[in-house]
Amino acid sequence: MSKLWQKSVDVNALVENFTVGRDREFDAQMAEFDVLGSLAHTRMLNSVGLLSKEDLDAVQAELKAIYKDILAGKFSIWENVEDVHSQVELLLTRRIGDAGKKIHSGRSRNDQVLVDLKLFFRSELKAVVEAAERLFRRLTELSEKHKDVLLPGYTHLQVAMPSSFGLWFGAYAESLVDDLEIVLAAYKITNKNPLGSAAGYGSSFPLNRTLTTELLGFDQLNYNVVYAQMGRGKTERIIAQALASIAATLAKMAMDQTLYLSQNFAFVSYPDTLTTGSSIMPHKKNPDVWEIMRGKCNRLQALPNDVAIMTTNLPSGYHRELQLLKELLFPAFTDLKLCLQMAEFMLQHIEVKKNILDDPKYAYLFSVDEVNKLVLDGVPFRDAYQQVGLAIEKGEFNPEKKVNHTHEGSIGNLGTEHIVKSMDKILKSFDFEKVDRAVENLTR
């Protein structure tokens, strides 16, 4: 089968197999977005007189039919076809004749790949945001539900000060707020239209790039055609930073969960159906979900470095190793979405232990509170610190195990409503509805 770029010479099979690699596998995930790009591009070609109304109608109808097949799982890239772009163009040409050959006018495979990737990344980032929001809502619900249940706080893994399950769950909720700030930045950079940059130097055709930007629901253009191509690799790096940020939150949560589920802590528990056992020790309840999540998310935190190393010494213009970025980013989206889903699922079933601080080993948690009480009674802080320290040394420390923390963000004043408002503000900024309307208008 000939290729979009092929003339009269066949490429050595060994070279072809090495350079193509896993492209076809990942291209299949971009199929619906390749069709969306062609739907917009052909409408633009018609608007500037490069495609007749008759050809446009035929192309649009068949592209929409292919799009429906893709969504129904009835599309595949044939064994002897190089990529998704070739497959779509081949199907069009076989079904409607020469009109199908005209869809490539005014664009290169470079900007075709770019717009496919931008649309794919945009869609995947939306799915990540939606999964993160579900986890956020679960965490804030648990934070409020268990806000009065006290929990030991640690520094250096040493018993430090009183905390609460409300603080613990709420901390991860607020962490996701900051994570989505980074995702929002990545989304804004992704949501710019490269179509019309061709091979990176524009086209002599009188293209209307503003029209395709509007049709595809992009916020704006990648104006400079050289930068549109240079942005490949940079966009992936910024997305990788966003995914790694969420992964860092999940990895820390997973680590807490594995500690708190162990017998030495026993702060939380899960139904037996959500943990695994040992082939030799019948008492075991292993937190395999959280351990696998910790491993996946630790690996995801290396993603920005992987992308940077692959692209750091490339000059401007297109280079073939950019294709390898798909092997890094595509599975990363899959892993992160699954981890977010599993975290929310597990937290649906978590049970927290009450009266943890009744255990005498947590008495020292209240040393700071005892110092503060003396200070409130007029004792200078350094003297109060010495008094409590001496009582601990002599074994005479017998605190009242009660907390009275009232400032913003403390045990008695979680500020959950403010955290929720912050999240809602960020979610609104994505404006997913605009993209949904554009896709619906293109495909209906």
pLDDT in tens, 150-165: 999 999 999 989 999 9
Average pLDDT of the chain, as a whole number: 92
Query: Quick one: tokens of 157?
Result: 């893994």
Residue count of the chain: 444
Q: How far apart are CA 147 and CA 141, in angstroms?
A: 10
Six token digits for residue 79? 């064994």
pLDDT tens by residue, 61-89: 999 999 999 999 999 999 888 889 989 99
Domains of the chain: 13-104 (1.10.275.10), 109-148+164-357 (1.20.200.10)
User: Do the beta carbons of residue 343 and residue 250 sit within 8 Å?
Assistant: yes
Whether 276 has a pLDDT exceeding 80, the answer reads no
**Where is pLDDT greater, at 290 or 23?**
290
Pick from 210, 239, 190: which is nearest to 33 by CA?
Answer: 190
Task: Point out the least confidently predicted range of 17-31, 60-74, 371-385.
Answer: 17-31
Q: How confident is the model at residue 7 (pLDDT cuts 50, 70, 90)?
A: low
pLDDT digits (tens, 9 = 90+) for 190-211: 999 999 999 999 999 999 999 9
Tokens of 3: 């290729």
Q: If DSSP codes are grouped into helix, strand and coil, which group holds residue 352?
A: strand
Q: How confident is the model at residue 400 (pLDDT cuts 50, 70, 90)?
A: confident
Which value, in Å, is the radius of gyration of the alpha carbons in the chain? Answer: 28
In single-letter form, the type of residue at position 214 comes to E
**8 Å CB contact between 356 and 267:** yes
Q: What is the tens place of the pLDDT at every residue in 134-151?
A: 999 999 999 999 999 999
Tell which residue, 27, 28, 6, has the closest CA to residue 16: 6
Tell me: pLDDT of 1 over 50.
Answer: no
Structure-token match 């702060």, residue found: 267
Angle CA 311–333–227, to nearest 5: 35
List, for residues 413-438, the tens digit of each pLDDT value. Answer: 999 999 999 999 999 999 999 999 99
Amino acid 401: pLDDT: 81
Q: Which pTM value belongs to this model?
A: 0.91
| Amino acid occupying residue 418 | H
**HSE (CB half, 13 Å, CA atoms) of 417?**
2
Q: Show the DSSP H helices in 83-200 as ranges.
A: 84-96, 109-145, 165-190
